[in-house]
């Protein structure tokens, strides 16, 4: 990007823009072939040109018919696989190169494995240096290349013999590339642009410039962008594609972004630059891996994860035992640096000590919230991860919820992980929006049906509904929203001062109110020596959920394993006020006598008054009332005043 073009923009974006990465063993003629196809020099460094060896990623472009092709030329040396992965990681297509004189070589194997693990579509295989060998040798290399690439994305790719010096086969290769690239599906545009940066520079007079292959969405001048791993924010000042300014960059395009607001040292190769909101950077992910033959993935070893242009050290935690190749299985990867990943991202796992490519696969859950336990749990989790790894975008939210610890996740987190801006219509058949969360509809209905069964024809308050929903498995974070949703849908209706399920509403109000009135009447008949709760609830057909709800509402008081009517508390406090007026600070025995009850009931009642701050004990075992005047307020809050006709010292249930 030059200063001369940084400030102006064409009105159109190049049509039919495709990006192709090269692959193949060192010195097999990849750069020479790109130079012959494009007329451009892909090797940018003086050292590369002097040694005839590609060290860094090179770039060149041309047009085949109506298709504009940008080449990313990668190094072939075994020590530079990390750089090769940075170029191939985001490429939507690849051109494999094998030299006719050398034939299939060591790095041919590794480059094939990398592209196979990344599932990069292979559009052509070029057997280079065709004029340096006889026809028999050429035919043998063509046959071997076809055999070695069987079962990979290159299995059906045409094999073309070419010679970049004489021009032999170049026209045929151009035709094959154009046809293969045209046949590829259009790059997904999900409205979530992400560019894995593979080059950064800062030309004089211009801001920071980054290059890479854009995926997921479009970018235009003026668009805000940020680096999710650091939070650094910038803005697109100008865009270039194929050396020309453009008004818009589309998914699949090789693009250079002139940025403002981001310093040169704020971004580098391996960073992802994203547009729009909702991106999450993660340091822990679950992936479904395919292990190469003869390789093993376990907890030991120094591992490096490659994704996009990034290479990050990581720990490997197999979720269902060590993986041996050829084979598949789930792993958890704990990264040394955070990355903005989504379901479906392709990854490669290399063992750093041996510099060997071991496995690759796909991100199944970029933000796991649990680790499976036990053989059955690990097996079920592995099955769910395998399903998530292959789920189409519309089904990813449901797949992620099946992996969640409690059947729900924050909606924003699910959409970010699924690489979506909103839940597709198809998703809503299996996933429900509950407040700020997403919940699987099957789980939600199970919670609701179980709650309705437990509540029956009882009227309850919101607190009791939340409690019962939680007993059925609904997490506390969504229980309130479930209740609100049931009210909005009419499945819950208001009956008197409570709530009831619509199918029971007619019976619920009268039945519950009558049972509660009878319970409270029995308790207030002996306010300071109530009957055992189990006897009362059995007599009146009241279950523990309703008791808990009544306690929560202040109609009942639970203390010391006993339950008193809420209205008994202000009555008890009123008697203590009179007692204190007569004797001053009083003992527990005097309080017991004032209430006309036994120690079994007096001590828990005193402890409740102490805990409520209505009485306070001094050092010699005596108490004083601190809640004078609170007895009337407490009585009102409890729904009435307890009968207090029995004189102090005379128990409603007989002498103490």
The answer on 177 and 40 residing in a single domain is yes
DSSP state of 597: -
The answer on 161 and 56 residing in a single domain is yes
Give the closest residue to 642 by CA, choosing from 583, 540, 559, 571.
571
Higher-confidence position of 467 and 593: 593
The answer on 145 and 20 residing in a single domain is yes
Which range of 75-89, 150-164, 509-523, 640-654 scores highest in mean pLDDT? It is 150-164
The string of pLDDT tens digits covering residues 215-240 is 999 999 999 999 999 999 999 999 98
CATH of the domain at 16: 3.40.50.300
Higher-confidence position of 643 and 502: 502
Q: Give residue 503's pLDDT.
A: 64
CATH of the domain at 607: 1.10.10.10
The answer on 251 and 286 residing in a single domain is no
Q: Give residue 485's pLDDT.
A: 83
> Which one of 487, 510, 533 terminates a domain?
510
Number of domains in the chain: 5
Give the closest residue to 60 by CA, choosing from 70, 52, 46, 50.
70
CATH of the domain at 218: 2.40.30.10
The answer on 398 and 502 residing in a single domain is no
Determine the Cα–Cα distance for residues 366 and 106; give it in Å rounded to an integer. Answer: 34
Does residue 360 fall inside a structural domain? yes
469 Cβ partners below 8 Å, 6+ apart? 447, 448, 451, 479, 482, 483
Helix (H, G, I), strand (E, B) or coil at 443: helix
Give the closest residue to 361 by CA, choosing from 279, 301, 305.
305
Asked if the bond preceding 326 is cis, omega within 30° of 0, the reply is yes
- Inter-CA distances, 516 with 72, 337, 464, 465, 541, Å: 77, 59, 15, 17, 10
The answer on 424 and 391 residing in a single domain is yes
Determine the Cα–Cα distance for residues 320 and 326; give it in Å rounded to an integer. Answer: 16
Does residue 454 fall inside a structural domain? yes
Determine the Cα–Cα distance for residues 397 and 417; give it in Å rounded to an integer. Answer: 8
**Residue given tokens 């999710």 in the structure block:** 228
pTM (2 d.p.): 0.74
The answer on 140 and 52 residing in a single domain is yes
Does residue 537 fall inside a structural domain? no
Does residue 548 fall inside a structural domain? no
pLDDT at 540 over 50: yes
Determine the Cα–Cα distance for residues 75 and 54; give it in Å rounded to an integer. Answer: 5
Give the closest residue to 308 by CA, choosing from 361, 355, 347, 336.
347
Please provide residue 178's backbone torsions phi and psi, each rounded to the nearest 5 degrees: -60, -45
Does residue 594 fall inside a structural domain? yes
Query: For the chain, what's the residue count?
Result: 656
510 Cβ partners below 8 Å, 6+ apart? none
Higher-confidence position of 438 and 50: 438
> Which one of 160, 183, 206 terminates a domain?
183
pLDDT at 4 over 50: no
Does residue 396 fall inside a structural domain? yes
Does residue 100 fall inside a structural domain? yes
Does residue 525 fall inside a structural domain? no
Q: How far is CA 8 from the centre of its chain?
A: 39
3-state secondary structure 90-148: CCCCEEEEEECCCCCCHHHHHHHHHHHHHCCCEEEEEEECHHHCCHHHHHHHHHHHHHH
> Which one of 260, 275, 290 terminates a domain?
275
- Inter-CA distances, 450 with 294, 339, 443, 454, Å: 51, 41, 11, 6
The answer on 289 and 199 residing in a single domain is no
The answer on 171 and 34 residing in a single domain is yes
CATH of the domain at 486: 1.10.10
Instruction: For residue 483, give its domain range.
Output: 441-510
Model confidence at 24, pLDDT cuts 50, 70, 90, reads confident
The answer on 410 and 458 residing in a single domain is no
**Residue given tokens 């009419």 in the structure block:** 490
| β-strand pairing of 327-339 with 310-318 | antiparallel
The string of pLDDT tens digits covering residues 607-635 is 999 988 899 988 788 999 986 765 554 55
Q: Give residue 306's pLDDT.
A: 92
- Inter-CA distances, 347 with 106, 288, 332, Å: 22, 10, 13
The answer on 582 and 449 residing in a single domain is no
Model confidence at 89, pLDDT cuts 50, 70, 90, reads confident
The answer on 563 and 585 residing in a single domain is yes
């Amino acid at each position: 990007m030059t200063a001369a073009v940084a400030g102006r923009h064409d009105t159109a974006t190049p049509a039919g823009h495709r990006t192709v990465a090269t692959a193949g063993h060192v010195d097999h003629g990849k750069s020479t072939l790109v130079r012959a196809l494009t007329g451009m020099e892909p090797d940018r460094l003086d050292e590369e040109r002097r040694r005839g060896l590609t060290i860094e990623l090179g770039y060149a472009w041309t047009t085949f018919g109506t298709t504009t092709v940008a080449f990313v030329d990668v190094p072939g040396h075994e020590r530079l696989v990390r750089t090769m992965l940075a170029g191939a990681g985001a490429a939507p297509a690849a051109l494999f190169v094998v030299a006719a004189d050398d034939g299939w070589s060591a790095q041919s194997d590794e480059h094939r494995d990398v592209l196979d693990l990344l599932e990069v579509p292979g559009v052509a295989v070029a057997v280079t240096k065709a004029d340096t060998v006889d026809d028999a040798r050429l035919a043998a290399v063509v046959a071997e290349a076809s055999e070695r690439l069987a079962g990979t994305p290159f299995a059906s790719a045409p094999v073309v013999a070419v010679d970049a010096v004489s021009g032999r086969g170049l026209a045929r290769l151009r035709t094959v590339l154009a046809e293969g690239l045209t046949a590829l599906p259009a790059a997904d545009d999900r409205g979530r642009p992400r560019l894995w940066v593979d080059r950064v520079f800062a030309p004089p007079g211009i801001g920071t410039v980054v290059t890479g292959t854009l995926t997921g969405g479009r970018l235009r001048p003026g668009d805000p962008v940020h680096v999710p791993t650091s939070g650094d924010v910038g803005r697109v000042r100008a865009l270039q594609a194929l050396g020309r300014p453009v008004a818009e960059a589309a998914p699949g395009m090789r693009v250079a972004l002139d940025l403002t607001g981001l310093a040169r040292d704020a971004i580098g190769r391996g960073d992802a630059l994203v547009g729009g909101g909702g991106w999450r950077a993660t340091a822990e992910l679950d992936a479904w891996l395919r292990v190469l033959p003869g390789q093993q993935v376990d907890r030991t070893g120094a591992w490096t994860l490659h994704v996009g242009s990034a290479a990050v050290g990581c720990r490997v935690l197999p979720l269902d035992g060590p993986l041996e190749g050829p084979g598949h299985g789930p792993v958890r990867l704990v990264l040394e640096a955070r990355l903005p990943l989504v379901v479906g991202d392709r990854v490669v796992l290399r063992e750093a000590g041996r510099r060997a490519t071991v496995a690759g696969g796909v991100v199944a859950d970029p933000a796991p919230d649990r680790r499976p336990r036990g053989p059955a749990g690990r097996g079920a989790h592995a099955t769910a991860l395998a399903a998530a790894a292959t789920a189409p975008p519309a089904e990813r939210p449901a797949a992620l919820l099946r992996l969640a610890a409690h059947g729900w996740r924050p909606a924003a987190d699910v959409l970010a992980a699924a690489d979506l801006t909103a839940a597709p219509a198809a998703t809503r058949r299996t996933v429900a929006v509950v407040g700020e969360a997403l919940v699987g509809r099957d789980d939600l209905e199970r919670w609701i049906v179980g709650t309705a069964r437990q509540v029956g024809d009882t009227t309850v308050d919101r607190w009791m509904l939340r409690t019962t929903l939680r007993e059925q498995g609904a997490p506390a974070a969504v229980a309130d929203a479930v209740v609100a949703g049931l009210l909005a849908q009419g499945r819950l209706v208001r009956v008197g001062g409570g709530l009831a399920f619509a199918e029971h509403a007619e019976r619920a109000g009268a039945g519950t109110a009558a049972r509660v009135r009878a319970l409270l009447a029995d308790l207030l008949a002996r306010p300071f020596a109530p009957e055992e709760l189990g006897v009362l609830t059995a007599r009146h057909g009241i279950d523990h959920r309703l008791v808990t709800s009544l306690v929560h509402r202040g109609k009942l008081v639970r203390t010391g394993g006993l339950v008193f009517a809420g209205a008994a508390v202000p009555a008890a406090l009123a008697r203590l006020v009179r007692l204190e007026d007569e004797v001053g600070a009083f003992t527990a025995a005097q309080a017991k006598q004032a209430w006309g009850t036994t120690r079994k009931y007096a001590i828990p009642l005193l402890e409740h008054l102490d805990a409520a701050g209505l009485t306070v004990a001094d050092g010699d075992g005596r108490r004083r009332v601190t809640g004078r005047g609170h007895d009337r307020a407490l009585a009102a809050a409890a729904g009435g005043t307890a009968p207090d006709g029995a004189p102090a010292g005379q128990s409603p249930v007989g002498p103490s």
